[in-house]
Structure 1
Amino acid sequence: MSKAIRLARPDVGEAELAAVADVLASGQLTMGPQVAAFESALASAVGTAHAVAVSSGTAAIHLALLALRVGPGDEVIVPAYTFPATANAVELCGARAVLVDVDPETFLVRPELVAEAVTARTRAVLAVHLFGRPVAWEELQTAVSQDVVLVEDAAGALGARYRETPCGALGLLACLSFHPRKIVTTGEGGAVTTDEAELAGAVRRLRHHGIASGQPMDISTPGFNYRLPDVLCALGIPQLERLESLLAARERVAGWYTERLAHLVGTPSVDEGDRHGWQAYVVGLDRRDDALAGLRAEGIETQIGTYAVHHLSAYRDRGSFPGADAAFERALALPFAGTMTEDEVDRVSAALARYA
């Protein structure tokens, strides 16, 4: 029987092992120097003045919205096709997630529909660069007034660029994830990036119980324990140092897939002048469920692209979204990692061709 092909595999090696070993040997597993070092490297990679490491991508969205003082009575626009964490974080602030439909080909929110969804209660738009493809940022900016804040859900877009600007530096704040399926991983983890010192400071306080730097004996606003420990930040530092080579490896694998599949299924692409972040390689086909079951039976791990949020019980009162429905029904995430071989891509592509 052929060896199983995993859905994803993080590209970690000796540098990461050594960095983690150094932290373990130091005995300073959290609240130490590696957090600041990781944040500095991340801010440099994204091109923002500040980066604040937190425990997950979900925590990053939650704290970014709280730093903006989003709360009860407010609305935040969210794509109807996205991982549920995007909408969940809004609701956890006490605000309402207003779903907006997506283009079923690009999987991205439609700016003209965002414009139609804005009300007097709209505080922000969570713009999701889904699977690493940058949102049409200028169109989105035009769609809303200046008092509506654009926040990037760039969980899968570290390394991606909209024109010449890195994803993570487009919005007033941006939220990143370092889950093992992301290009840079800390195992679990996330971060908020911004150029605004006041917002960065608010996120720092909120991730640490509400305790402000230099004021350990007082808490003005209750916060959370959303810290990212040193041992995980140490894992991420050598990953960030290799960001360009990690992305180049994923671009190579994506190119192999596209060569073999473009005439069979809908394959991912990017607008001219942009750079895809390649968090995942997600195709579209009519027989998605058959392909999902068939490839798994052959030892090839696959997964749905992501969720149509309005299909979830918590959000079934938010309306109908045909674009999200089409994306949800057709999208299939193929095994994807920078470490994949061309033979593995051949095997996945041949198996998928039977369902095209």
Structure 2
Amino acid sequence: MRLNVPLLDEDELAEIAAVLSTGMLTQGDRARDLEDLVRGVTGTAHAAAVSSATTGLHLSLVALGIGPGDEVVMPAYSFPATANAVVQQGAVPIFVDIDPETFNIAPDAIANAMTERTRAIMPVHAFGLVADMDPILAIAGAHDLPVIEDAACALGGTYHGRAAGSLGTTGVFSFHPRKVITTAEGGMITTNDPVLAERIDVLRAHGAVRGELFMEFVAAGFNYRLSDVHAAIGVAQMRKFERIVTSRHSLADRLAERVAQIPGVTAPFEPDGLRHTYQSFVVMLEDGIDRDAVIRAMRAADVETTLGTYGMHLQPYFVERFGDLTAQLPHATRAHRQALTLPLYPQLRDEDLDLIAETLSSAVTANAR
């Protein structure tokens, strides 16, 4: 059993074939269609299709003028692309701890990390659960700082009725095959700021502005566009979008009921007023359980699992650069060591959920220290 299987069918093939038949394969009409569909979900005024969420984060930083020596506050617990985009700008990622229940950045930790060099806050909506944005936005507003939502996992997630990607200055989504919908590879930037949207549009396409006959290059931009072939997959995926998100949520509820019966395992937490997308179904194992041994045991039983995500402060590059931050980041450190992602995707049946839970229970029992 795989960790995730995208929900693909003849729709995606038909959309790809339609693009191929035109001979116009680079960013064009289908990318614009996908942008419109994402704007519809997020309620934002602008959306820009890009080649990945990583390039979307980088482009947001560039468009906001984040540069060498600037500090960007972010959770220590995230896929390293979050921090890498900051480093690529010559800026400094400032790692802060997470809430142990939600895996999301702790607002109090943000406030304590602010310095005169802080230029942005980058919350991550961990595994599809929107971070606690009201206090984050209050901190940002008090210091006149932009907020970049790393919403890679959270398309369709909501925070007290407001959509992920609409809360900050920009929102950035991923369409990697493990995400809620996929374009094989790709991403999207959303914003309500028309000036910022125009800057992003220019920067993602070589810094070019098209005139009557030729382009003029007004910035040292990037080639961060999404091809129409990839966008076509996304358009077909968006027709299934609500069904996919609803199915993931229903399956997560049923899997959580089973997981709750296993001693030493804590199911994901969804606060009142928030809608989790369950891009990943991540449980926490008690400290006395060898998480890595559980992964190996479940793999041996043909059930794919993996860690939740990464304590970025524990990765060799960041340890070498910033030193040992383990003591300052206890919750992110524990999550890196004890969180476990279980399979979750719409094609699973109840008997599959039973198998996941039974395999997990056996693996936990066998690998308690």
Q: TM-score, normalised by structure 2?
A: 0.93
| Match of residue 168, structure 2, among 166, 171, 178 | 171
SS at match of 2:271: coil
Q: Is the 8 A contact 2:157 2:275 kept in 1?
A: yes
Cα distance, 1:209 vs structure 2 = 1.1
AA in 1 matched with 2:190? T
Structure 2 residue 351 is matched with structure 1 residue 343: yes
Q: Which amino acid aligns with 2:115?
A: T
Q: Distance in 2 between matches of 1:213 and 1:157?
A: 33
Secondary structure of 2:31's partner? helix
In 1, Cα distance between equivalents of 2:283 and 2:27 = 41
The offset of 1:54, in angstroms, is 0.3
Query: What amino acid sits opposite 1:51 in the alignment?
Result: A
Per-residue Cα deviation, 1:202-250 (whole angstroms, up to 9, x for no partner) = 1111111111243843222211111100011011012122211110110
Amino acid at match of 2:347: T
Identity of aligned residues (%): 41
1:61/1:153 contact within 8 Å kept: yes
SS across alignment from 2:74: strand
**Runs of at least 4 residues off by over 3 Å:** 213-217
Residue equivalent to 1:267: 267
1:248 to 233, 246, 249: 246
Task: Report the Cα offset of residue 59 of structure 1.
Answer: 0.4
CA contact (8 A) 1:205 1:213 kept: no
Contact 1:39-1:51 at 8 Å conserved across structures: yes
Q: Which amino acid aligns with 2:314?
A: H
Q: How many angstroms apart in 1 are the aligned matches of 2:318 and 2:100? A: 20
Could you give the per-residue CA deviations for residues 123-175 of structure 1, whole angstroms, max 9, x where no partner exists? 11111000011111112123342411111000000000000101010101000
Match of 1:114, as an amino acid?
A: I
8 Å contact kept, 2:137–2:168 = no
Query: What's 1:313 paired with?
Result: 316
1:75-90 → structure 2 map (5 Å cutoff) = 75-90=71-86
2:42 equivalent to 1:46: yes
Length, aligned pairs only = 352
Tell me, yes or no, if the aligned pair for 2:153 and 2:173 is still in contact at 8 Å: yes
Task: Give me the whole-angstrom Cα distance separating, in 1, the residues matched to 2:228 and 2:2.
Answer: 28
Do 1:45 and 1:240's aligned partners in 2 also have CA atoms closer than 8 Å?
no
Aligned counterparts of 1:37 and 1:257: Cα–Cα separation in 2: 35
- Partner SS state of residue 65, structure 1: helix
Residue in structure 1 matching 2:150, options 153, 175, 194: 153
Q: Which of 147, 159, 162 in structure 2 is aligned with 1:162?
A: 159
Gaps of 5+ in 1: none
What SS does structure 2 have at the residue aligned with 1:21? helix
